[in-house]
Structure 1
Amino acid sequence: MSAFPVSSPEQGGAPLLSVRALRKTYSLPRGQTLKAVDGISLDVLPGEVLGLVGESGCGKSTLGRCLLRLTDVSSGQITFEGQDITHLGERALRPLRQRMQMVFQDSYASLNPRRRIGDLLAEPLRVHPSPDGRKRPAAAITARLHELMDLVSLPATALDRYPHEFSGGQRQRINIARALALSPRLVVADEPVSALDVSVQAQIVNLFADLQAQLGLTYVFVAHDLAVVRQISTRVAVMYLGAVVELGETDDVLHHPAHPYTAALTQAVPRPVVGAPRHPPLRGDIPSPVARPSGCRFHTRCPMVQDRCRVEDPALHTVRPGHEVACHFPLAAD
């Protein structure tokens, strides 16, 4: 892949999005509780691309939905643009929807197959007023639709067609256009390329990067493919069993992982340099979030496990400037 350069986050400014001790639990039969998001705290800076990575079932998508309040949270706090949105009702959230949008994984299921693309893209422009509080005139909506088609490199004739007439990559471009219709500041992309062919993945990742640099967007980019995350993200948060176990600048985390789980994940990324450091492979399956192991949540699969790991849950702590890890015995930088 060859991506456009992504913009650097604004230095020294307040976070665009902050979460503190965020939890999302689900009640199950027989009194069981599923901890999908288990006490996550992190900041997203204006203009950055924060990658969320981890195995399937680790809570990445649930966290992404919680950030935009598409899913109610069980406890904790979410702050967007300095405003606490944790418990806002739908009516109070509605004006904020213009500034925070989502691109979903399934490009076909997220589009109404009975409506033309132009109608789908025009809907948010009709529902939400213009910045001056007035209803948008039809001519302004039409002009914006043509702008959106240009942004995602689709012809204007696409507006008169239906979702089934497009390829998966084209439908994802349409979903991106819909997310950008109201000029948001924050976009959460929930595994937007996982269902696409590799060559198409590269095109969509390049499109995301180009739009981010062109429009100054802030992304939370959810993925399980470290190669994709490495391509677009400025920082990366590695999730395991509902929690962030490593957080830092992308190159530092992926080239010098401090957590054994991150180190194992990096083995799946093709290494162009012969003799690059290797780490013990990841064995076993991720435990059920219904029955999380005591102590460190990773100790049942960790090749470096010690007695302390089985009884004491490690908190995120700084191992290098800008690099945090939740591990009692972090790996030394190579």
Structure 2
Amino acid sequence: MTATSPAPAALLAVRNLSKTYRVGHGQRLTAVDGISLSVMPGEMLGLVGESGCGKSTLGRCMLRLTDISAGQVMFEGRDITTLSERRLRPLRPRMQMVFQDSSACLNPRRRVGDLLAEPLRVHPGPDGRRRPAADIDRRMRDLMDLVSLPASALARYPHEFSGGQRQRINIARALALSPRLVVADEPVSALDVSVQAQIVNLFADLQARLGLTYVFVAHDLAVVRQVSTRVAVMYLGAIVEIGPTDSVLHHPVHPYTAALTAAVPRPMVGARPPPPLGGDIPSPVNRPAGCRFHTRCPYAQDRCREDEPALRPIRPGHEAACHFPLATS
């Protein structure tokens, strides 16, 4: 980019996004708490954190699959925060989701070909007209080739496939309408380790071939490291660290990120791992005052118990929400 060229526009941007649920006795559970971030075209953003941190809810809010309590969602420069489902429908082909449970997403009574053809029949083609049957058939065969399944799979039922093959079918269905953005919600967590690697490699290959933009939701840092160019670490509904994958995972500055990376088996040469995390994640219904991580942080000080830290720059493109970030050398 030259000094006079404009900065590239974000494909997706959320601003001060919050999602709150009503729970028993008039209480509210804040699953996503005032998050702001942008996803650039062609980027692969990993969302990581322990179960219940709000990462899946954030992914669904990004696509307006879940109503938003507060904040703003921008897609392709357009504010989609309050659009009705009718007005969202023309945008749906360009923003798709791959879900964790491949079996639950595929109607067991329908053949794979019918499942893939459905979005192609419902949504018009690029020319705004209904797609001819021959075009739909050709597109389905191309999709099978994209996910490395034979065209003969189109005539079979979901129960005839393994878990990894069903996830490939789900990916093919998500790609049917040539989306620009794909949010993948824990797409490999239910699969065997050997199959996980194959699906992760497929995601990477599809990004390279199609120029897709991903938001990849996962709790496994090893998976995120393989498929992401940038990582956002979530804790209790907020992003506590975000930056380039290598910078965040190899040189974390937030104690929570450091504890997560220390739990991933790898050689440690001349380095002392951070103290392990103690205790459980506090309830999002009644989260701690001050830093939301201070009840488990081995480095917490009085300021941490009183003042909530905001995300601030640590290195170029790397931010963390910590009053006392770890050494950055």
Q: TM-score range by the shorter chain?
A: over 0.9
**What SS does the aligned partner of 1:331 have?**
coil
After TM superposition, give the deviation of residue 30 of structure 1 in Å.
Answer: 0.8
1:53 aligns with 2:71: no
Separation in 1, partners of 2:263, 2:289: 28
1:199 aligns with 2:214: no
In the alignment, structure 1 segments of 5+ residues that lack a partner are 1-10
Q: 2:181 aligns with which of 153, 165, 186?
A: 186
Mean Cα deviation higher: 108-117 or 53-62: 108-117
After TM superposition, give the deviation of residue 277 of structure 1 in Å.
Answer: 4.0
In the alignment, structure 2 segments of 5+ residues that lack a partner are 1-5
What is the TM-score when the length of structure 2 is the normalising length?
A: 0.97
1:14 aligns with 2:21: no
Residues 143-180 of structure 1: CA deviation (Å, up to 9, x unaligned): 00000000000011110111111000000000000000
1:227 aligns with 2:213: no
The aligned amino acid for 2:59 is G
Q: 1:212 aligns with which of 207, 221, 238?
A: 207
1:250 aligns with 2:233: no
After TM superposition, give the deviation of residue 26 of structure 1 in Å.
Answer: 0.4
Separation in 2, partners of 1:151, 1:268: 35
Separation in 2, partners of 1:184, 1:37: 25
The residue number in structure 1 matching 2:28 is 33
The aligned amino acid for 1:40 is I
**What SS does the aligned partner of 1:169 have?**
helix
The aligned amino acid for 2:108 is P
The residue number in structure 2 matching 1:177 is 172
Residues 199-258 of structure 1: CA deviation (Å, up to 9, x unaligned): 000000000000000000000000000000111100000000000000000000011101
1:290 aligns with 2:275: no
**What SS does the aligned partner of 1:79 have?**
strand
**What SS does the aligned partner of 1:30 have?**
helix
**What SS does the aligned partner of 2:140 have?**
helix
Separation in 1, partners of 2:225, 2:271: 17
**What SS does the aligned partner of 1:23 have?**
strand
After TM superposition, give the deviation of residue 274 of structure 1 in Å.
Answer: 3.1
What is the TM-score when the length of structure 1 is the normalising length?
A: 0.96
After TM superposition, give the deviation of residue 129 of structure 1 in Å.
Answer: 0.2
Change in CA separation of 1:333 and 1:277 when aligned onto 2, cut-off 3 Å: farther
The residue number in structure 1 matching 2:3 is none
The residue number in structure 2 matching 1:330 is 325
Separation in 1, partners of 2:245, 2:7: 19
Separation in 2, partners of 1:328, 1:200: 41
1:71 aligns with 2:70: no
The residue number in structure 1 matching 2:101 is 106
After TM superposition, give the deviation of residue 273 of structure 1 in Å.
Answer: 4.5
Separation in 2, partners of 1:125, 1:288: 43
Q: 2:83 aligns with which of 88, 92, 96?
A: 88
Instruction: Please report the RMSD computed on the Cα atoms of aligned residues, expressed in angstroms.
Output: 1.0
**What SS does the aligned partner of 1:24 have?**
strand
**What SS does the aligned partner of 2:240 have?**
strand
Separation in 2, partners of 1:289, 1:112: 35
Separation in 2, partners of 1:310, 1:225: 29
**What SS does the aligned partner of 2:154 have?**
helix
The aligned amino acid for 1:191 is E
After TM superposition, give the deviation of residue 333 of structure 1 in Å.
Answer: 1.8
The aligned amino acid for 1:94 is R
Q: 2:137 aligns with which of 142, 165, 168?
A: 142
The aligned amino acid for 1:26 is Y
Runs of 4+ in 1 over 2 A off after TM superposition: 272-277
**What SS does the aligned partner of 1:289 have?**
coil
**What SS does the aligned partner of 1:108 have?**
coil
**What SS does the aligned partner of 2:129 have?**
coil
After TM superposition, give the deviation of residue 332 of structure 1 in Å.
Answer: 1.4
The residue number in structure 1 matching 2:302 is 307
After TM superposition, give the deviation of residue 270 of structure 1 in Å.
Answer: 1.9
**What SS does the aligned partner of 1:291 have?**
coil
Residues 7-59 of structure 1: CA deviation (Å, up to 9, x unaligned): xxxx9311100000000000112110000000000000100100000000000
The aligned amino acid for 2:279 is G
Separation in 2, partners of 1:313, 1:170: 45
Percent of aligned positions with the same letter in both sequences?
Answer: 80
Aligned length: 324
1:280 aligns with 2:275: yes
**What SS does the aligned partner of 2:285 have?**
helix
